[in-house]
Amino acid sequence: MRLLVKRSSDRVKGQIAVPTSKYHAHRALMLASLAPGTSRIVGLSNAQHIRHTITALRGLGTRIEVDGDSFLVHGGPYRPLRSQVSVGSAGTALYFLTGLASLASAPVTIVGQKSFPRRLIGPQLQALSDLGIDLDSPTGGPPISVRPRRPKGGHARIEGILSQWISGLLMVAPFATGPSTITVEGEFNERSYVDLTVRMMRQFGLRVDVSENGRRFDVEPGQCPTPATVVLPPDVGAAAFGLAVTALHPADVLFRGLPALPVDQVDHPEADLLDIVAGMGLPMTADSATGMVRVRHDGIRLRPARVDCRAVPDTLPALSVLGALADGTTVLDNVAHVRLKESDRVAAMLQLTRMGARIEQRGQRLLCHGVERLTGGELSSFNDHRVLMALAVAGTVADGETRLTYPNAYRGSYPRFLEEMNGIGLDMSVERERERDREPERDQARTPDRCGTRAPALAAPAK
């Protein structure tokens, strides 16, 4: 099967419905599952990764139901329904639930799908052990066996390579029998994601003290969360692909669900993307009737940008495409940890060179030298939702046809991606190929150990 994308020369127009934030949904569902009573999470998400989180929590005995436009979560102690709990392909669920599974009433083994990408989790496993969690992982990743014992607390030090490591420690620390201190060492990526975790923990009544420099977290023991109502905001990370499309085509598109607010009022860890694309020349205004973002123009030349990807790692695929077609050189700095996501997204986006782009990696920097036009080709998505959607956007301005592997990967975060893109005038469709015409997928983009970010003392065992 392939996702087929054809060049579109017409104006894109209509509406794009921006989905709710899966960043918020993951955290809200997990915290609600631990709060005795009923929590309401307003704003349903049908993202595959969220469905995996819900399935995993249900496997731990949490009752979750849909009520209108909300999830109702009936929280309380975990009483596993089975010995194995699958997180599917949801990396966030893996990082968060590995520690929380220690609160269950019986041993649990955390597993993932066969195609689950290799995840660098060894350093987090060590830090969880330092807090007294009883776990075992022969391979340094799933399957991870977790035995029922509350953490004892203590001092855990963790490299700040991935925010999910830190968030996973923070979410389990309030349930320890003694006080916990978590210290972030070295490079601290994705701080806004950790800030979101702390804010949401406080929304559920959990106390976390953060040092002035944001690198030390002190958590009191023996806490009990309280039920809460959480309204899921729009997902700026998903909106990135629609914004990229409207930056590359003449456009008149309303982004339904994305309010036209100052960036500092947008509740999303990657809200800075809105400033970045505005700085590249994308005209975003407030729609007079709805107050939502509207993009309207007759064609623009994009300016280059310089972006620190420590703050907005998930936007690298979309920004690579915009940089490939901007005037001048776009510099994406500090990209090493972006190679540890669902795929090595830096290597994956270097495929743009096969479309005629001039992109190169220099150390921890990705340089995108803008070109006038692209040409379609056969590319791999590496079963990574953001890579697939970004390359599909590139295909809409490329001569000929672009064909992408794993055509359904977008469902991980943006289930209506194809409907929304086709609804504004683009041409994307899934072609089912004959078995004998299919070629094996090469996995060269899924190689996080090539990243160079692993400190020897923290290196995860080979998976």
Whether 119 has a binding-site annotation, put simply, is yes
Look up the CATH number of domain 2-19+235-450. Answer: 3.65.10.10
Whether 345 has a binding-site annotation, put simply, is yes
CA distances from 41 to 65, 71, 76, 199 (A): 10, 5, 16, 15
φ/ψ (deg, to 5) at 242: -65, -40
Whether 163 has a binding-site annotation, put simply, is yes
Inter-residue contact 82 to 61 (CB < 8 Å): no
Inter-residue contact 102 to 62 (CB < 8 Å): no
Q: Are strands 374-375 and 398-399 parallel, antiparallel or unpaired?
A: parallel
Look up the CATH number of domain 22-208. Answer: 3.65.10.10
Question: 78: Cβ–Cβ under 8 A, 6 or more apart, which residues?
Answer: 33, 60, 61, 62, 100, 101, 103, 104, 105
Sheet containing 63-67: order of strands: 63-67, 70-75, 37-42, 229-231
Q: Which of 322, 369, 319 is nearest to 345 (CA)?
A: 319
Whether 147 has a binding-site annotation, put simply, is no
Q: How far apart are CA 398 and CA 5, in angstroms?
A: 9
The type of residue at 97 is L
Q: How far apart are CA 302 and CA 281, in angstroms?
A: 6
Inter-residue contact 254 to 294 (CB < 8 Å): yes
Record the tokens describing residue 268, joined without a space: 């999303």
Q: How far apart are CA 176 and CA 173, in angstroms?
A: 5
Determine whether 427 is exposed, middle or buried from the number of CB atoms within 10 Å of its CB (0-12, 13-18, 19+).
middle
Whether 13 has a binding-site annotation, put simply, is no
Q: Which of 383, 411, 93, 413 is nearest to 238 (CA)?
A: 413
pTM over 0.75: yes
**pLDDT under 50: residue ranges of the chain:** 435-444, 446-463
What residue spans define the domains of the chain?
A: 2-19+235-450, 22-208
Do domains 2-19+235-450 and 22-208 share one topology? The answer is: yes
Question: 245: Cβ–Cβ under 8 A, 6 or more apart, which residues?
Answer: 12, 251, 253, 393, 396, 421, 424, 426
Q: Which of 209, 225, 213 is nearest to 172 (CA)?
A: 225
Q: What residue has token string 């992109």?
A: 359
φ/ψ (deg, to 5) at 70: -130, 155
Peptide bond into 250 cis (omega under 30): no
Digit-coded pLDDT (tens) for 38-68? 999 999 999 999 999 999 999 999 999 999 9
Q: Which of 277, 339, 333, 317 is nearest to 414 (CA)?
A: 317
Record the tokens describing residue 357, joined without a space: 């782009």
Whether 463 has a binding-site annotation, put simply, is no
pLDDT on residue 64: 98
User: How many CB atoms neighbour CB 147 within 10 A?
Assistant: 14
User: How many CB atoms neighbour CB 87 within 10 A?
Assistant: 26
The answer to whether 327 is a known catalytic residue is no
pLDDT on residue 113: 82
Inter-residue contact 430 to 408 (CB < 8 Å): yes
90: left (phi over 0), alpha (psi -120 to 50) or beta: beta
Whether 22 has a binding-site annotation, put simply, is yes
Determine whether 267 is exposed, middle or buried from the number of CB atoms within 10 Å of its CB (0-12, 13-18, 19+).
middle
Active-site residue, selected from the candidate residues 314, 384, 399, 427: 314
Q: Which of 224, 236, 234, 92 is nearest to 167 (CA)?
A: 92
Digit-coded pLDDT (tens) for 174-186? 999 999 999 999 9
Whether 215 has a binding-site annotation, put simply, is no
Whether 377 has a binding-site annotation, put simply, is no
